[in-house]
Homo-oligomer: A and B are copies of this chain.
Amino acid sequence: MNEDQITEWFARQSKLSPQDFPIGIGDDMAQIQLAEGISVLITTDMLLDGVHFNLEKATLEQVGYKAMAVSLSDCAAMATVPVAAVVSVALPKSFGEKQLKRLHAGITLAAGKFACPLIGGDITAWPNQEPFALSVAMLSRPTGIGPITRSGAKSGDAICVTGSLGGAISGRHLEFQPRVREAIKIAQIACVNAMIDISDGLSTDLNRICNASHVGAVVDADSIPISDQASKSEDPLASALNDGEDFELLFTLPQDQCKRLLQNWTGPVPITQIGIVTDTKKPQIKMPNGQVIDLQPKGYDHLCKGKPPNKLV
C-alpha cells in the first residue's frame, strides 16, 4: 500500500457520522459540524529534517514558516479561512531556547500574514541527536461558499492551476506563499467543483482529484505553466509534473465558470487552464508530440520504499 491506499483504508474504517463530520479522512482538511451553520475544519502536517527541509541549508525561521505555510496551503485547498494553529516539536538534544525562538519567529511570520495565530503547542526533546521534527495542526472556517473538496470534479470541467510548477526544491519550498487569498477569491468569482493544493506534484494530486471524483482527465503538456527553476532542469515537464512542493492550487470548474474566472481574474498570481475532466476514470496527458499517455502519480510517496527519498536531500 502507498500513502493514498492506506489513507483510503483508514477512511473506510472510520465510519464517521456525516452530520457531525461532513468531510472526513482523505481530503485536505476534515470538517466538524459544531452547531447549525457553525463548523470548523482541521488539518495536520508533520515535517522532518532530511525530508521536508535540511537544517544544513535551511534556517529554523524558514522551517517554522514552511511548517505553517504547508497547513495554510491546506486551508487554501478548500477555500477556507485559517483560524489558528498549534505546533508540536521533537527537538534534537542540543536545541534549546535559542533554536525555539528562531522557529517561533518563522511561525509567527506566517501566522501574521494570514491572521492565523499560534495558540498552543507541545515541546519534546529526543534523548540524543535524533533529527528535528515538527507537527502543525491548523483550524479553519468555511466562507459563505463552503469548503471545496477533492471529490466534486465533473466530466467536462476545465482543469486550472495557479502559478507555475516544478523546481520548488531549489528554494521556493521554504518561502512559498500559500494561496489562501487566491482560493477564496477564485471561489467568489466562479463555482469551483473540486480543488486541492499541489503538495506532492501535479501528477499525484490530479490523480487524487480523479480518484476522489471518479473521473478522468486529459492534461495538455504544452499548456502546463513551468517555473523558471524547472525550465533549467534536464526534463522541465517531468519536473513540473512530479517535483511537488509547489503548493499551488489545482482545481476544476465548468467551462463557462472557467471563462468567467479568467475574464475577471486580476492576478497577480496567474491562473492557467491545463486540461479538461473526462469520464475515462484515469488522468492522461497529451504530450508535446501529440501522443496521449496515462499520467502516473510520480510525486513523492512516504511509504514507497522502492523509490529513494528524492525530495530535498
Pick from A21-29, A151-159, A205-213, A261-269 the stretch touching chain B.
A21-29
CB contacts (< 8 Å) of A21 on chain B: these are 84, 117, 119
CB contacts (< 8 Å) of A293 on chain B: these are none
**Interface assignment of A88: CB less than 8 Å from any CB of chain B:** yes
- Across the interface, do A104 and B10 meet the contact criterion of CB distance under 8 Å? yes
CB contacts (< 8 Å) of A296 on chain B: these are none
CB contacts (< 8 Å) of A40 on chain B: these are 32, 34, 40, 139
* A1-21 with Cβ < 8 A to chain B: 1, 3, 6-7, 9-10, 13-14, 16, 21
Pick from A58-66, A126-134, A275-283 the stretch touching chain B.
A126-134
What 0/1 pattern do residues 24 to 52 of A give for CB contact below 8 A with B? 11000110101100101011111110111
- Across the interface, do A14 and B117 meet the contact criterion of CB distance under 8 Å? yes
Pick from A227-235, A251-259, A302-310 the stretch touching chain B.
A302-310
**Interface assignment of A93: CB less than 8 Å from any CB of chain B:** yes
CB contacts (< 8 Å) of A51 on chain B: these are 124-127
CB contacts (< 8 Å) of A38 on chain B: these are 34-35, 38
- Across the interface, do A24 and B124 meet the contact criterion of CB distance under 8 Å? no
Cα distance A139–B43 in the bound complex, in angstroms: 12
If A1-B97, A14-B118, A120-B24 touch, whether A30 touches B86 (CB-CB below 8 Å) is yes
**A139 to chain B: closest CB distance in Å?**
7
- Across the interface, do A123 and B7 meet the contact criterion of CB distance under 8 Å? yes
Cα distance A126–B131 in the bound complex, in angstroms: 9
Cα distance A153–B271 in the bound complex, in angstroms: 56
If A131-B130, A305-B96 touch, whether A52 touches B14 (CB-CB below 8 Å) is no
Closest B residue to A127 by beta carbon equals B309
CB contacts (< 8 Å) of A7 on chain B: these are 121, 123
Q: List 17 A-B contacts (CB under 8 A).
A: A13-B104, A14-B117, A32-B83, A35-B35, A42-B120, A44-B120, A44-B137, A46-B124, A48-B126, A51-B127, A86-B137, A90-B133, A97-B303, A123-B302, A126-B131, A127-B309, A127-B313
